[in-house]
Structure formats: C-alpha cells, structure tokens
C-alpha cells in the first residue's frame, strides 16, 4: 500500500486531532462499505458519563428512583475505584450520537470513534431487528415527549402515584414486547380505514341522532364458552393492559405505552449483544489495522491500541475468579474474524462445514451476516469448529433430578454441533425469560385475569413472581392468577394476587 | 458527515433529580439512620454526611425470571481437562464456582446497599423533622462566608486592582538602581569637565570629547524606562472568614429520674439547633454542659447525654453554677453568651422563686439569649410560672413547652428573625 504521511500521535487529544482521525476513519469505513447514520460525537466529562450510564444509556429520560439507585451505585463504585467507566456510549438515533469521554487518550478516542461511530452505527442502521423495531429518527423526540408527559403527570397526580405506576410498568417491561409478531408498517389502505373509523367515531360523538338508533339485540345463542378473551394468548402484558385494563385513567394508559415503547426500543439490543459488539469490535480492529498498513498510524499508537483491544476481547476461563460469563465482545469478534478467514483462507474443515461461504468475497458475507441475523441465528449459522476450539467451549448440564452435573459435549468432532446448538439457544430471549402469556379474562364474573406459564425443562419461576403479580394486579384492578403448566397441560404451581386461602403459592411452588 | 460537540460545559448533575427520587423513596429508612446518628454524634459534629445502609431486598426491582432448578445447560469457555461424559459433583448451593454466571438473581447476597448521604442531604433530613422554615434552613446549611480583604501586594492580578503608588515606588527604585553607574560616571566626568574648562588655555578638543561622552551617558540614562512591567504591583485580596467574634453556649439539662431517653433526644436536638445557629454567627464557640438534679455539675458531652442519675430537682443549682462560670471564665466583653436549658418542668417548689431571682438579677443582664424548653411536661409547675415572669421582663428570653421535635424551632424563632434581618 502506498505510504502516507503519519497522523500526529500524542497521548492527549485535541479537537483538531479528533477531527483528523475521524476523517481518516470515515474514509476507511467507507472503503469497507459501512453505511451509517450521520455521526454526532459529543465530548463529555466523567460525571456526565455516569449520568448517562445510570439512565439506561439514554441522553434523557423520565425521572425515576431506580435510575437514582443506579447512579448512586455507579458513583460509589467509581469513587472507590471498583470500576472504570464505560469507554463509550452510543445511541441508536439519527443522527447517531456517540459519547467520547474527556479522560480518554487519543488512542482510545480513535478506537471509540471506529467502534461506536462506524461499527455500532452501521449495525443500528442495517440490522433487520433494529430496522423493524426501532425508529432512529424519532427516539430522541419521543424520550423528550415521555419526560415532559411524565413530569406533567407528576404535577397533576402526585409523584407517588406516578412512581407506583412506573414501578409496576418496569416490573412488567420484560413482557412488554410482541415477541412472536413483527410490527408491520400500516399499508395505505389500512391507514385510510383507520382514519375513517376515527372520523365516524368522532362524528358519532357530536351527532346525537346516533343514540336514538335501536341497537340490534345480541344473539343469545352465542355461548359463554365462545367468548374467550383475549382470543389468542397475549404475551405483551403492557399492551394488553393499556388497551384492556378497565379502571385505568387515560394518563395511566399513556404512561404504560411510554414504558412499552421504550422497552420495545431496547428489545433488539437484548437480542444482538454478541453480534453488535462483535461487529463493532471487528471494525475498530480492521479499520485501525488498515490505517496502520497505509502508514497513517505510528507504532506507538498501534501498540497502545492493541493493548486496549486485547483487554476488550479477553475471555476468562470458567474457573477464573473473575469469570463473568461469555464475553460478547470476544465471541462476536471471534466469529466475525473467523468468517473473514474462512472466505480468504478456507481449510478443508471449513469447506465441509461452510461450503457456501467458500469463494465469496468476505465483505459481502460479513455484511450479509450483520444485516440478516440476530445472536441466536447468527451463532447457529456461523459458529465454526475453529472458534469453539479456540475458546475451548464445553457444555455442562445441570439437571436437578440427577445427582451430578454432566459434561455432555466438548470442542471435539462429536460435540461441535451440539455445542453450537446449545449456545445458540442460550441467546434466545425466550430461553432467558420465562414464557408467560395472558390466556383468559373472566368476562362474566369477577374479571379475573389468568396467566399461563409454560414450564420449560421444569425450570421454576423466581421469588419475584408474587411481587410482580402484585404490580400486575395494581394495574389490572381485579384478581390475577398465574399458573405454571407442564408440557402435559397439568398445573403444577399457582400464584394469586390477591392471595386466596385455598391457593397459597409458597407451598405449591416447592414441587421440584 | 461528522459533528463534534463539546458538551463538557453542559449540565453535570443530570442525575440529581433521580438521586433525590431515590432518597425520597427510602426516606423512612434514611430518616431512621439520620436520627440514630444524631443521637450518637457529638453536637459539634453535625456538619457531616452519613453512610446509609438500605437492605438490598428493599431496593430490588422484581421481574419475572427463573429460579435455580429444573434442567439447565451452560456453555463455558476454557475447558482444560474435561471430556464429554464426565460428571462433576454438584457444588453446594450458593457456591460461587462454575455456575456463577446464571445464579445471579437468587436473592443471596442480602448485604446492604450502602451509600453516602452528603452533608446537605443530611442536614435537610435533620431539619425536616424540626420543621424549620426554608429561609432558616438555607441559612444554616450554607458554609461560612468569607470576606474579601486586602492582604498585601502581589506580582500578578487584575488590571483593576493595580496599586499605582506601589508600582511607582517600585519604578523609582528600579530607575535609581539601574542609573546608579551612570550617575557615578557623570559625577566624575562633570568634575573632569569642570577641570578641563578651567584650564588655560582650554583644550577644546578634550572638552568636546568629554561633552560628547556626557551626552551619550545622559542619553543612555534616559533610556531606562520610566515604568516597566516588572514594577507593576497589584493589591492582593485574601479571603477571611466573616465571623469574627466568639460565643459560649451553655447547655443546661435536668437529669433527674423523670427525664427519660426520648426527652433527652429531643433536648439534644434543641441544643444542636442552637449550636447550628451559633456557628453561622460566631467564629469560635465553646460549649459548656451543665447537668443537674439537686446539685449541678459541669460535665463533658458524653456524660451530659448518657449517664443517668436520680434524685430531686433543684434548678437554681445549675443557674448558680452557670453564673459562676460566666463570671470566672467568660467575661462578657469578650464572649457572647447563650444559654439553652431543657427540663421536664419538675422543680422543688421553694426553689423556683430563687431561680427567678438569679435569672433576673444575675444571668439575664449578661446573656444574649436564653432559651428554655419544657419537654413533655405533665402539667406546668412553679418553675414555668416563675419563668413566665422573667419572660415578660426580658425580650431575649424565650420559653416553650414542647411535645415533639417540630415544636423546637419556635423557641428560636425570635433569634433567627433578629439575625436574619
């Protein structure tokens, strides 16, 4: 490659330097066809970073004690040197906002720019989950709206009232997304039909004549059995409550909606942790390496960068005292790098495992993987035997009906497929969170809401369950019952709120 | 397109409201800790934050999830010697071994969530129980203010604070010292010139040369700048605490058997409040603790609040002791004297008129302010009646009967009002 003039290297950053580096990084990113939202870099101090860190990484949000708790905790740990701050925070918005920490040196700034502004940013813009579930153009405005709305509610109805409602919504927010349905954009016809319906409704409000029209008698043959509501089980509790809870005031419905929308905004992030971090890590590595090869970066810069990079992708072994699960940076980076390697230098094993990857341009393969997968499918599709060997993965089964733990697969010929499938399942959201759905509402009687938990591998619900049901009850306003059902359809545990005499949940859940 | 925005100057404390919400939510727990800590602290330690511990389970935000049990599969990195089919003995529950990754929300680790309440937040909560008016709260919570006074001169400073006289003095000194050698030379040359001129016949050439040298030296001497940047001096300003005087605070408390712990706690707050007020206004505060039953004794704070004695009550003994101490140790021209007395109103009947006399004739003329509280009295007794007479006579005597913390502040109302205006 042609040699260029080296970019000045100094430990301290300055605006001119950042601009220079950012320009070069953008050029290289373009060369690799990373398409991004416009980038807005914001330089902030460590305190501001703590602020942002404690409000689920959003630049603004409504006020809630739980964020205060988070802040107090982060601040305390930071002050005592127990933790560093996040190097970067990037916000899925258009323009994409990336925070650069004042205290970072120039190498870190360059790394963050490549990582966040180009890696994460292109992921946000192109991954199908983000495209389907989030609206990058609108999020900042929506958050602002949410904060103002909730502040207004606090003024009108009191902080306690709003706080209680938010607590309840937060408790249910993990079940505030349509998992199995994709949101679909309204077609023009639907949009028109909806508008028409609204018009008719509004007209009916003003035209008194409508009230005098006789109402057709309901068909008495419609049996009670037929009237099951909701017609299909509902997994999105917040949506269900917003639309159907009988006793809520309009402002309460709107607040539920706000929590639901924000939960939905974060839903893709939960499902693409490995991919998203892997992708960003792959690109900060590739971009800076490319610049080094061009002769833009000094050796000193590169050494410092590589050290940071290595720390980031370090995977501790399972028996290390600081072991904290699989490092998504490490796993994601390994898979993406391996994909590139397979396209460029395939081995016989690769030819056997990934025949369709061979001889395709690596850039195309990588973009394709980034655009169309989430962690679960990404791992089951692209985790290669080599990566499993490198990470020395093994699978451990903890079955409480058996006396001992069993290693049922390791990184060998017999184990690859099983390992890959198991790891992929672990990244399935429905595996991480229990499958609970609203199955029935007693329309004729006391409006009891029935929820069903489908037991999966006999894994019981946690101790929070009663507490969460209380929150659900406070929103619904009528009794709530949750049943854990095993695959044979038997009810093995029942939780109620308010508690009734015959079903004491604490005794029934100890079935295992 | 790249935009870089420098946001470092923007608002820093975005999380303040969230933090306040957090404190608000756990107010009850925090209040208990604060109140307990006030009882433990010395009166003079009141300006400090406090560590608050809240049980983790109270902070927990519940959500649906799994508990240990059933069948779980973990994928772990870093295999060293396991082969497929190996079995491992199940670690004891709560063990932190291999399966630490997924046993997070098991409710173990119920250790407390500890955080620091800063000084302002601490005082805020302390004041809240006392029902202080806002103006007073801010007044008490603010740090001592400083006066900006002149303190000598410095080489650097703001142009507006240049000291002209001082700068000129420097300039003169500099000019004098720099021109010294020239002046010396000129003096000798003048002599030589005079000698040359008086010579006959005058040596014109020599004179001309001499005159030339003299002019050139004069010219060089003139080139010394009249004033130079090294001469400039600025008035230096230093900060000096505004408080300049000193006060002594007498805490007088009845420790006879009827004063139980809860009454003493209220009394302590009463003393703290006076102390806080005094720290606003005085640089140095001495506190004298006098406890009494039938006899009065000067004690340290520890003994004042915590040791118990029983017996009858003779208030005048404490008043006499206070008077003696004032006379011997705290001359009124050097010290501002404040007295805070707490009691439950019991007194030996024949003693009350004596108290009245001591107050009227000896103590009241000496003190700035005398505050008396009667804590949860069953009914007012002779002491109250005697004190009422004193109150009518002296505007700086305040008394009140109080049932809980909220009633303390009004005792001092006049005090704060007077000083605030």
Instruction: Write down the mean pLDDT value for chain A.
Output: 86
**Among chain A residues, CA nearest to B118:** A72
**Predicted local confidence at residue B105, as pLDDT:** 41
Give me the residue label for tokens 């390791």.
A410
Q: Taking a C-beta distance cutoff of 8 angstroms, is the pair A434, A461 a contact?
A: yes
Are residue B214 and residue B360 in the same domain, yes or no? no
The edge-to-edge listing of strands for the beta sheet with A491-497 is A436-441, A449-454, A480-485, A491-497
Q: How far is CA A281 from CA A40, B75, B315, in A?
A: 20, 22, 79
From the candidates B11, B18, B58, B92, which should be mutated to test the interface with A, based on the most A CB atoms within 10 A?
A: B18
Is there a contact between B79 and A393 if contact means CB atoms under 8 Å apart?
Answer: yes
What digits encode the pLDDT tens for the residues A48-64? 888 888 877 787 889 99
Among the listed residues B337, B341, B346, the one whose alpha carbon sits nearest the alpha carbon of residue B314 = B346
**Per-residue confidence band for A327, with pLDDT thresholds at 50, 70 and 90:** very high
**Predicted local confidence at residue B200, as pLDDT:** 79
Is there a contact between B70 and A39 if contact means CB atoms under 8 Å apart?
Answer: no
Is there a contact between A459 and B67 if contact means CB atoms under 8 Å apart?
Answer: yes
From the candidates A95, A236, A394, A472, which should be mutated to test the interface with B, based on the most B CB atoms within 10 A?
A: A394
**Among chain B residues, CA nearest to A388:** B77
**Among chain A residues, CA nearest to B21:** A65
Give me the residue label for tokens 């929506």.
A142
**Predicted local confidence at residue B6, as pLDDT:** 87
Q: Taking a C-beta distance cutoff of 8 angstroms, is the pair B285, B248 a contact?
A: yes
Is there a contact between A464 and B8 if contact means CB atoms under 8 Å apart?
Answer: no
**Among chain B residues, CA nearest to A458:** B70
**Among chain A residues, CA nearest to B19:** A68
Higher local confidence (pLDDT), B169 or A77: B169
**CB-closest option in B65, B69, B88 to A458:** B69
**Residue B141 belongs to what H/E stretch?**
helix B134-141
- Shortest Cα distance, chain B CAs vs residue A328, angstroms: 12
**Predicted local confidence at residue B366, as pLDDT:** 86
- pLDDT at residue A41 tops 70: yes
Q: Is B126 within the bounds of a domain?
A: yes
What is the rounded CA–CA span in Å between residue A240 and residue A248?
12
Contacts of B1 in chain A (CB under 8 A): 38-39, 95
**CB-closest option in A51, A167, A434 to B65:** A434
Among the listed residues A105, A140, A128, A120, the one whose alpha carbon sits nearest the alpha carbon of residue A39 = A120
Are residue B277 and residue B396 in the same domain, yes or no? yes
**Predicted local confidence at residue B132, as pLDDT:** 63
What is the rounded CA–CA span in Å between residue A53 and residue A44?
12
Is there a contact between A40 and B3 if contact means CB atoms under 8 Å apart?
Answer: yes
**CB-closest option in B17, B66, B77 to A393:** B77
- pLDDT at residue A507 tops 80: no
Contacts of B87 in chain A (CB under 8 A): 404-407
**CB-closest option in B14, B68, B75 to A393:** B75
Q: A123: which residues sit within 8 A by CB, 6+ positions away?
A: A130, A272, A275, A276, A279, A280, A370
Q: Is B136 within the bounds of a domain?
A: no
Are residue B253 and residue B382 in the same domain, yes or no? yes
Contacts of B59 in chain A (CB under 8 A): 69
Percent composition of chain B: helix, strand, coil (DSSP 3-state, to 5): 50, 20, 30
**CB-closest option in A23, A396, A412 to B73:** A396
Kindly state the average pLDDT of the residues A121-135: 91
Contacts of A392 in chain B (CB under 8 A): 77-80
- Shortest Cα distance, chain A CAs vs residue B33, angstroms: 18
3-state secondary structure of A209: helix
Is there a contact between B21 and A42 if contact means CB atoms under 8 Å apart?
Answer: no
Question: For residue B114, what are the domain limits?
Answer: 15-57+110-130
**Predicted local confidence at residue A170, as pLDDT:** 93
- Shortest Cα distance, chain B CAs vs residue A400, angstroms: 6
Q: Is B26 within the bounds of a domain?
A: yes
**Predicted local confidence at residue A120, as pLDDT:** 94
3-state secondary structure of B118: coil
Are residue B407 and residue B267 in the same domain, yes or no? yes
Are residue B392 and residue B362 in the same domain, yes or no? yes
Residues with pLDDT less than 70, chain B: 1, 12, 92-111, 131-146, 241-245, 414-421
Is there a contact between B99 and A398 if contact means CB atoms under 8 Å apart?
Answer: yes
- Shortest Cα distance, chain B CAs vs residue A77, angstroms: 10
Are residue B320 and residue B219 in the same domain, yes or no? no
Is there a contact between B64 and A462 if contact means CB atoms under 8 Å apart?
Answer: yes
DSSP state of B143: P
Of B206, B235, B264, which residue sits at a domain end?
B235
- pLDDT at residue A316 tops 50: yes
Q: How far is CA A88 from CA A115, A150, A212, A276, B198, in A?
A: 9, 28, 64, 14, 92
**Among chain A residues, CA nearest to B93:** A400
Size of interface A-B (CB pairs under 8 A): 269
Sign of CA dihedral A16, A20, A26, A27: positive
Of B176, B210, B235, which residue sits at a domain end?
B235
- Shortest Cα distance, chain B CAs vs residue A215, angstroms: 44
CATH code for the domain in which residue B282 is found: 3.40.50.410
Contacts of A400 in chain B (CB under 8 A): 68-71
**Among chain B residues, CA nearest to A62:** B18
Are residue B334 and residue B358 in the same domain, yes or no? yes
What digits encode the pLDDT tens for the residues A1-14? 455 778 888 878 88
Is there a contact between B76 and A102 if contact means CB atoms under 8 Å apart?
Answer: no
Does domain A434-511 sit in CATH 3.40.1350? yes
User: What does DSSP say about strands B246-254 and B234-241: parallel, antiparallel, or unpaired?
Assistant: unpaired
Is there a contact between B78 and A318 if contact means CB atoms under 8 Å apart?
Answer: yes
Is there a contact between B18 and A42 if contact means CB atoms under 8 Å apart?
Answer: no
Contacts of A117 in chain B (CB under 8 A): 2
Are residue B117 and residue B169 in the same domain, yes or no? no
Are residue B251 and residue B328 in the same domain, yes or no? yes
Is there a contact between B4 and A73 if contact means CB atoms under 8 Å apart?
Answer: no
3-state secondary structure of A348: helix
- Shortest Cα distance, chain B CAs vs residue A408, angstroms: 5
Is there a contact between B18 and A67 if contact means CB atoms under 8 Å apart?
Answer: yes
- Shortest Cα distance, chain B CAs vs residue A132, angstroms: 25
Kindly state the average pLDDT of the residues A254-272: 90
Kindly state the average pLDDT of the residues A198-218: 65
The domain limits of chain A are 15-127+272-307, 316-431, 434-511
Is there a contact between A457 and B79 if contact means CB atoms under 8 Å apart?
Answer: no
Is there a contact between A95 and B101 if contact means CB atoms under 8 Å apart?
Answer: no
Q: Is B72 within the bounds of a domain?
A: no
- pLDDT at residue A282 tops 90: yes
Contacts of B90 in chain A (CB under 8 A): 398, 403-405
**Predicted local confidence at residue A329, as pLDDT:** 93
Entry pTM: 0.73
Contacts of B64 in chain A (CB under 8 A): 174-175, 433-434, 436, 461-462, 464-465, 468
Are residue B295 and residue B316 in the same domain, yes or no? yes
**Predicted local confidence at residue A208, as pLDDT:** 61
Domain tally, chain B: 3
Is there a contact between A458 and B71 if contact means CB atoms under 8 Å apart?
Answer: yes
Are residue B255 and residue B229 in the same domain, yes or no? no
**Among chain A residues, CA nearest to B12:** A48
Q: Is B28 within the bounds of a domain?
A: yes
3-state secondary structure of A424: helix
Are residue B267 and residue B412 in the same domain, yes or no? yes
What is the rounded CA–CA span in Å between residue A342 and residue A350?
7
- Shortest Cα distance, chain B CAs vs residue A187, angstroms: 33
**CB-closest option in B1, B7, B65 to A38:** B1
What digits encode the pLDDT tens for the residues A249-262? 889 999 999 999 88
- pLDDT at residue A370 tops 50: yes
Contacts of B24 in chain A (CB under 8 A): 65, 159
Contacts of A23 in chain B (CB under 8 A): 2
What is the rounded CA–CA span in Å between residue A161 and residue A152?
12
3-state secondary structure of A122: helix
């Amino acid at each position: 490659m042609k040699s260029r003039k080296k970019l000045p290297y100094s430990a301290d950053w300055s605006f001119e330097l950042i601009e220079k580096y950012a320009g070069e990084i953008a050029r290289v990113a373009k060369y690799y066809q990373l398409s991004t939202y416009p980038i807005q870099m914001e330089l902030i101090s460590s305190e501001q970073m703590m602020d942002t860190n404690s409000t689920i990484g959003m630049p603004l949000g409504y006020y809630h004690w739980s964020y205060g708790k988070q802040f107090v905790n982060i601040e305390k740990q930071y002050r005592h040197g127990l933790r560093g701050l996040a190097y970067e925070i990037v916000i899925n918005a258009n323009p994409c906002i990336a925070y650069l920490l004042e205290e970072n040196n120039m190498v870190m700034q360059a790394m963050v720019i490549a990582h966040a502004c180009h890696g994460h940013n292109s992921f946000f813009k192109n991954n199908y989950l983000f495209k389907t579930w989030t609206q990058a153009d609108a999020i900042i405005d929506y958050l602002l709206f949410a904060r103002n709305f909730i502040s207004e509610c606090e003024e009108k109805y009191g902080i306690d009232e709003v706080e209680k409602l938010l607590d309840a919504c937060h408790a249910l927010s993990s079940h505030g997304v349509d998992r199995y349905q994709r949101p679909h954009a309204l077609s023009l016809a639907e949009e028109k039909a909806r508008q028409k319906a609204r018009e008719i409704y509004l007209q009916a409000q003003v035209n008194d004549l409508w009230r005098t029209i006789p109402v057709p008698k309901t068909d008495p043959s419609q049996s009670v059995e037929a009237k099951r509501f909701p017609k299909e089980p509902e997994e999105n509790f917040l949506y269900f409550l917003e639309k159907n809870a009988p006793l809520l005031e309009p402002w309460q419905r709107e607040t539920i909606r706000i929590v639901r929308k924000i939960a939905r905004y974060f839903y893709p992030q939960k499902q693409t942790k490995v991919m998203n971090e892997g992708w960003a890590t792959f690109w900060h590595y590739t971009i800076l390496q490319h610049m080094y090869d061009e002769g833009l970066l000094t050796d000193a810069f590169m050494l410092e960068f590589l050290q940071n990079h290595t720390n980031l992708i370090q995977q501790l072994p399972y028996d290390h005292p600081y072991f904290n699960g699989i490092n998504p940076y490490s796993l994601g980076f390994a898979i993406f790098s391996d994909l590139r390697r397979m396209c460029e230098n395939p081995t016989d094993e690769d030819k056997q495992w990934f025949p369709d990857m061979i001889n395709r341009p690596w850039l195309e393969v990588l973009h394709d993987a980034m655009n169309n997968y989430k962690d679960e499918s990404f791992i089951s599709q692209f985790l290669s035997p080599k990566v499993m060997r490198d990470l020395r993965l093994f699978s451990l089964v903890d079955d409480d009906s058996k006396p001992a733990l069993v290693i049922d697969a390791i990184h060998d010929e017999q184990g690859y497929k099983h390992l890959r499938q198991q790891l992929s399942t672990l990244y399935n959201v429905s595996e991480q969170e229990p499958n609970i759905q609203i199955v029935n509402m007693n329309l004729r009687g006391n409006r009891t809401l029935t929820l069903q938990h489908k037991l999966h591998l006999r894994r019981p619900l946690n101790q929070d369950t009663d507490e969460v049901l209380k929150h659900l009850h406070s929103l619904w306003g009528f009794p709530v019952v949750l049943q854990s059902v095993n695959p044979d359809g038997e009810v093995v545990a029942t939780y109620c709120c308010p508690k009734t005499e015959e079903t004491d949940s604490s005794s029934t859940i100890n079935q295992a | 397109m790249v935009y870089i925005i420098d946001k470092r100057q923007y608002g820093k404390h975005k999380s303040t409201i969230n933090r306040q919400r957090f404190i608000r939510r756990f107010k009850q727990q925090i209040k208990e800790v604060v109140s307990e800590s006030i009882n433990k602290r010395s009166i003079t330690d009141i300006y400090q934050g406090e560590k608050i511990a809240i049980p983790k389970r109270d902070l927990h935000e519940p959500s649906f999830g799994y508990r240990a049990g059933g069948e779980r599969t973990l994928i772990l990195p870093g295999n060293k010697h396991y082969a497929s089919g190996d079995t491992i003995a199940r670690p004891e529950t709560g063990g932190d071994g291999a399966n630490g990754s997924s046993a997070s929300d098991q409710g173990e680790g119920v250790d407390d969530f500890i955080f620091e309440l800063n000084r302002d937040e601490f005082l805020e909560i302390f004041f809240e129980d006392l029902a202080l008016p806002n103006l007073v709260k801010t007044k008490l919570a603010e740090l001592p203010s400083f006066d900006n006074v002149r303190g000598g001169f410095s080489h650097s400073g703001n142009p507006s604070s240049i000291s002209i006289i001082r700068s000129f003095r420097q300039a003169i000194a500099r000019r004098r010292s720099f021109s010294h050698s020239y002046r010396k030379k000129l003096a000798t040359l003048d002599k030589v010139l005079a000698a040359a001129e008086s010579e006959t016949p005058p040596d014109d050439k020599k004179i001309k040369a001499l005159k030339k040298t003299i002019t050139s030296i004069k010219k060089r001497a003139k080139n010394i700048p009249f004033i130079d940047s090294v001469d400039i001096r600025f008035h230096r300003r230093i900060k000096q605490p505004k408080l300049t005087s000193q006060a002594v605070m007498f805490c007088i408390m009845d420790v006879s058997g009827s004063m139980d712990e809860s009454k003493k706690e209220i009394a302590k707050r009463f003393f703290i409040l006076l102390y806080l007020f005094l720290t606003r206004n005085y640089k140095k505060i001495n506190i004298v603790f006098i406890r009494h039953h039938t006899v009065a004794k000067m004690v340290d704070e520890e003994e004042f609040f915590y040791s118990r004695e029983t017996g009858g009550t003779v208030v005048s003994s404490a008043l006499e002791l206070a008077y003696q101490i004032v006379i011997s140790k705290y001359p009124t021209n050097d010290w501002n004297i404040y007295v805070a007395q707490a009691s439950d109103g019991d007194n030996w009947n024949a003693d009350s008129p004596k108290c009245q006399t001591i107050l009227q004739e000896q103590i009241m003329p000496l003190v700035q302010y005398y505050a008396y509280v009667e804590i949860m009295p069953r009914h007012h007794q002779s002491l109250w009646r005697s004190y009422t007479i004193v109150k009518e006579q002296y505007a700086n005597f305040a008394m009140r009967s109080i049932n809980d913390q909220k009633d303390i502040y009004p005792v001092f109302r006049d005090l704060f009002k007077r000083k605030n205006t």
